[in-house]
A and B are shown apart, each in its own frame.
Chain A
Amino acid sequence: MRLLPARGGTRARTVTRLFAGHLARGLAMIWAVTTVSFVIIRNIPGNPVLGQYETLIQRGMAPDEAQRMTAALYGFMPTGSLWDQYTGYITALLHGDLGQSLSTPGTEVTTLIGAAAQWTVLPVLAGTLLSFLLGVTLGVYAGIKRSGRLGDVLSISGSLLHGVPQYVTGLLMMAIFATLWPIFPAGGPVDVEFVPGFNAGYLASLVHHATLPVLTYALASYGGWVLAMKSSVATVLGDDFILAAELRGMSRGLLFRYVARNAILPLFTILALSLGMLFGGAIFIERIFNYPGLGLLLVNSIGTRDYALMGGTFLVTTIAIIVANIAADLLYAVIDPRVRTGGAA
Chain B
Amino acid sequence: MSKIILIGINHKTAPVELREKLSFSDEETIAALEFLKQDEDIKESLIFSTCNRTEVLYIPETGEQVDKIIAFISQHKKVDISEFKSSLYIHKEDDAIRHLFRVASSLDSMVVGEPQILGQIKQTYRTAVENNASGVLLNRLMHKSFSIAKKVRKETGIGDNAVSISYAAIELANKIFSDLSQKSVMLLGAGEMAELAVEHLISNKVKDIVVANRTFKNAVDLAQKFNGQAVKFEEREDALKDVDIIISSTGATDYVLTETQVKQAMKKRHHHTLFFIDIAVPRDIDPKINTISNAYVYDIDDLKNIVESNIEQRGKETVKAERFIEEAVLKFRKWMESLAIVPTIKALNDKMSAIVEIECKKTLSNPNHFSQEDIEAIKRMTRAIATRTIHDPILFLRNTGDHRDDSLYLNVTRQLFNLDIPEEE
- A and B interact: no
Interface residues of A (CB under 8 A from B): none
Interface residues of B (CB under 8 A from A): none
